[in-house]
Structure 1
Amino acid sequence: MTNKGAISNFIEKYYLHFNAAALVDAAKGYEAQLANGSKMMVTLAGAMSTGELGKIFAEMIRQDKVQIISCTGANLEEDIMNLVAHSHYKRVPNYRDLTPQEEWDLLEKGLNRVTDTCIPEEEAFRRLQKHIHKIWKDAEAKGERYFPHEYMYKMLLSGVLEEYYEIDLKDSWMYAAAEKNLPIVVPGWEDSTMGNIFASYVMKGELQASTVKSGIEYMEYLADWYIKNSDNGVGFFQIGGGIAGDFPICVVPMLYQDMEMEDTPFWSYFCQISDSTTSYGSYSGAVPNEKITWGKLDIDTPKFIIESDATIVAPLIFSYLLDM
C-alpha cells in the first residue's frame, strides 16, 4: 500500500461530498486504471500552460502517469513561452475592472492578456518564431514533414533556447514530454500563434503547407496508437472542453463504425473537469452518459464529471496520483 502524503490525506479527510467527493472518486479511478495496466490520455484545453500547470504536470509525465496527451496549439506553445520569457509576464489581478482603453494600452505594450496574466509578445512569441522558422525551413529543404509537436520537440532538444530559460526545466511539461518523446495530438493547431505564423509564411510563399502534417494525419496517428495500446484499456482524463477533448475521443467510434473494426475497445475510464453548462447544448458540458450514445463510452465505463475550476482541481488530483 502506497503511503500518501499530506495533500492526499487532506483531500481524503475533508473532500467528502458534491464536487469535492467527485474529485476524490475520479483520482482513485485514475489510480486504479494505472494499477490495472491501462494507459491514460490527458487532454488540455483553455490556458493551462499559461496557468503554469507544468509545475505539477511535468512530474506526472516523468512518473509515467500519462501516456499520451491531446492539447490545443496554445497549450503546446505557451508552456515553452513561459520557459523562455517568464520574467516578462505581467499579472493583472484587477482584470475584471479594465476599461477598453486600458486593454488597448496593454496591446500597445505588446502584452496579450489571458485572464489575469499577460504574455509578452516580443520575448515570448518572437523569441520562439526565429528558431522554429529555421527548423521548419530546414525540414522542408530536406523534404521532411513533421507534426507540430515534433517540431517543438526538435526545438527544445536542440538546445537553441537554453540561453533564454527563466524557470527550472523541471517545471516545463513540454520539456518532460520531449525527453520521453511522448505522443501528443494537437487538433486545430492552425489557430495557435505559431500556427498563425506558419500560415503567414505559407501565404508569403516562404513555406509549403505540407511541411507541417495535418489534422487528418493526427487522427490517423492517434488511431494507430490506440490500436497498439488499448489491450488493457485507455482512459480519458479531460481538462476543460473544446477540440482538445472532442477530437481524440472520436477515435473509438471512428475505428469501430467507420473502419469497421468491431473489436475496438471503448475508452476504459472517463473524467472531465468542466464548468460548461449542459443546457446550452455544448458538447463540452454534456454529461458522460451522453457519450454512450455516440459509441465513445461503454455502459460500465467508470465516469466522473467535476463541475469546477480546472486550475484548482487538476493540481489536486495530480497531487493525489503523485502521493503528495
Structure 2
Amino acid sequence: MTDEDTHSHVVPGSDEELSTPDVRGYDFRGSFDFDDLLQSYATTGFQATQLAEAIDIAEQMQAADATVYLTFTSNIVSSGLREVVAYLVREGFVDVLITTSGSLTEDVIKTAKPFKMGKWNADEGALRERGINRLGNIFVPSDRYVWLEEYLYEFFDDFFAEEKIRTPTAFARELGATLDDEDSVLKQAADNNVPVYCPALTDAEVGNFLYYYRQGYDAEVGIEILDDYDSLIQDGLLADETGLIAVGGGVPKHHAIMTNLFRGGADYVVYISTGVEGDGSLSGAPPNEAVSWGKIKNHETNYTQIEAEATLVLPLLVASAFKQE
C-alpha cells in the first residue's frame, strides 16, 4: 500500500458543498443581547440547536392557536420551575396540565412552607434523624407533610360532603380554589379554568391520606379516573390542532400522547428529557418513536427533543418562545 493510498484513507476529501448553515456560536464582543444569544443556539450545535428547534416549534404552536398540553413530573414543582409553570398558566399559554400526584401535594405545601436548598452529598442517616427529606440538592423538612395532612383532612370533609366519588380534575380544581399564593400552579389553574389531570393521584401523600381518611372517617369516598380520561380524549378530538410540551417522562407524558392518538396524533411536540432510549422505556422514548404509534403526526419539522435536565432549559424555552416581545 502506497503513501497515496493511506493518505486517501486518512483524508478522503469531499467534492460536495453542503447548503446547511455554518456552525457558529454567539459573539460576546460588544454589547450583550439575550435574544441574539438564544438565536445563536440554532447554529451552535448539539443540544443548543435542539433547544432552538424547540423554541421554533413552541412559537408554531402559538401561531396556530393550538390547544397546548404541558406535562411534567413532580420534581418540576419541587424545584424553582414551579414558578415557571404557574407563569405559563397565569398568562394563558397552556390549556391542559397533566402531572403526577407529588406535584399537587408539593404545590400545596409551598403555598405555606417553602422547600430549602440543600446539597447532593448530605449525610442521609443524619438527615433522617433530623426529620429532613432530600430531593437531589433540595431539602424538605418532614413538618411540611404534617401540615399537609391537616390541611387535606379539612379539605376532604368539604370535597366529599355532597359527592362521595370524585375525579382527579375536580380534586385539583377545588383544592386550587382554596389556595392563596400567586405562584401556586393549582391556584392559577383553578383561577384560569385550566384542567389539571392526574391519572396516578394516589401515588403520593394524597393517596396515603385518602387511605387513612377512608379507613377512619368515611368508607364510601373514592376517586374515579375514567371520567377524566373521557374528557381528555373528547376535548382533544374537538381541538383543531394540539401542541405538547413534555417536561420529563412517565405517566404524564404518555397520557398526553396516548389521548392524542384518538385524534390522529399531536401536531406540535417538544420533549425535554434525560431519559435514555436504550432501555425501551416510555420516559426515554424520543418523539419519532411516538410517530410510529400514531401518537404524533408525521411531519419533518413538528417535533423535537432536548436531551437535558429541565431546570437548565425550560426557563430559556419560556423566555424566548413565550416571554420575549
Alignment TM class, shorter chain as reference: 0.7 to 0.9
Q: What CA deviation, in whole Å up to 9, does each residue of 1:157-176 have, x standing for no partner?
A: 235xx5xxxxxx33322221
One-letter code of the match for 2:159? A
Distance 1:60 1:109, change over 3 A: same
Aligned match of 2:295: 296
SS of the aligned residue for 2:286 comes to: coil
User: Aligned pair 1:135/2:155, yes or no?
Assistant: yes
One-letter code of the match for 2:281? S
Moved over 4 A (4+): none
Aligned match of 1:267: 266
Aligned match of 2:224: 213
Instruction: State the distance in 1 between where 2:174 and 2:147 align.
Output: 16
Please identify the structure whose Cα radius of gyration is greater.
2
CA shift for structure 1 position 152:
4.0
Could you tell me which runs of 5 or more consecutive residues in structure 2 were left unpaired when the two chains were aligned. Answer: 1-31
User: Aligned pair 1:114/2:157, yes or no?
Assistant: no
- 1:183 paired residue among 195, 220, 225: 195
Aligned match of 1:75: 103
- Answer whether contact 2:173 2:196 (CA < 8 A) is retained: no
Q: What CA deviation, in whole Å up to 9, does each residue of 1:63-94 have, x standing for no partner?
A: 211110111111122122122101xx33222x
Instruction: State the distance in 2 between where 1:40 and 1:209 align.
Output: 36
- Answer whether contact 1:132 1:151 (CA < 8 A) is retained: no
Instruction: State the distance in 1 between where 2:199 and 2:220 align.
Output: 16
CA shift for structure 1 position 58:
1.6
CA shift for structure 1 position 14:
4.5
- Answer whether contact 2:277 2:285 (CA < 8 A) is retained: yes
SS of the aligned residue for 2:230 comes to: helix
Aligned match of 1:30: 58
- 2:117 paired residue among 91, 97, 112: 91
- Answer whether contact 1:272 1:304 (CA < 8 A) is retained: yes
- Answer whether contact 2:273 2:308 (CA < 8 A) is retained: yes
Aligned match of 2:14: none
- Answer whether contact 1:275 1:285 (CA < 8 A) is retained: yes
CA shift for structure 1 position 133:
1.6
SS of the aligned residue for 1:289 comes to: helix
One-letter code of the match for 1:248? A
Instruction: State the distance in 2 between where 1:195 and 1:188 align.
Output: 9
User: Aligned pair 1:243/2:243, yes or no?
Assistant: no
User: Aligned pair 1:105/2:126, yes or no?
Assistant: yes
Instruction: State the distance in 1 between where 2:187 and 2:159 align.
Output: 21
User: Aligned pair 1:157/2:177, yes or no?
Assistant: yes
SS of the aligned residue for 1:271 comes to: strand
Distance 1:116 1:198, change over 3 A: same
Distance 1:20 1:191, change over 3 A: same
SS of the aligned residue for 2:177 comes to: helix
Distance 1:132 1:149, change over 3 A: farther
- Answer whether contact 1:199 1:209 (CA < 8 A) is retained: no
Instruction: State the distance in 2 between where 1:23 and 1:15 align.
Output: 8
Aligned match of 1:260: none
SS of the aligned residue for 2:69 comes to: strand
Distance 1:209 1:234, change over 3 A: farther
Q: What CA deviation, in whole Å up to 9, does each residue of 1:22-48 have, x standing for no partner?
A: 111111111111111211101002500
SS of the aligned residue for 1:49 comes to: helix
Aligned match of 2:208: 196
- Answer whether contact 2:69 2:98 (CA < 8 A) is retained: yes
SS of the aligned residue for 1:181 comes to: coil
Distance 1:220 1:108, change over 3 A: farther
Aligned match of 1:308: 308
TM-score by length of 2: 0.82
One-letter code of the match for 1:8? D
TM-score by length of 1: 0.82
SS of the aligned residue for 1:151 comes to: helix
Instruction: State the distance in 1 between where 2:169 and 2:285 align.
Output: 29
One-letter code of the match for 2:217? E
Aligned match of 1:9: 36
Higher relative contact order (CA 8 A, sep 6+): 1
Aligned match of 1:146: 166
Paired residue total: 291
Instruction: State the distance in 1 between where 2:47 and 2:254 align.
Output: 23
Percent of aligned positions with the same letter in both sequences? 23
CA shift for structure 1 position 6:
5.0
One-letter code of the match for 2:130? K
Instruction: State the distance in 2 between where 1:195 and 1:7 align.
Output: 44
- Answer whether contact 1:219 1:248 (CA < 8 A) is retained: no
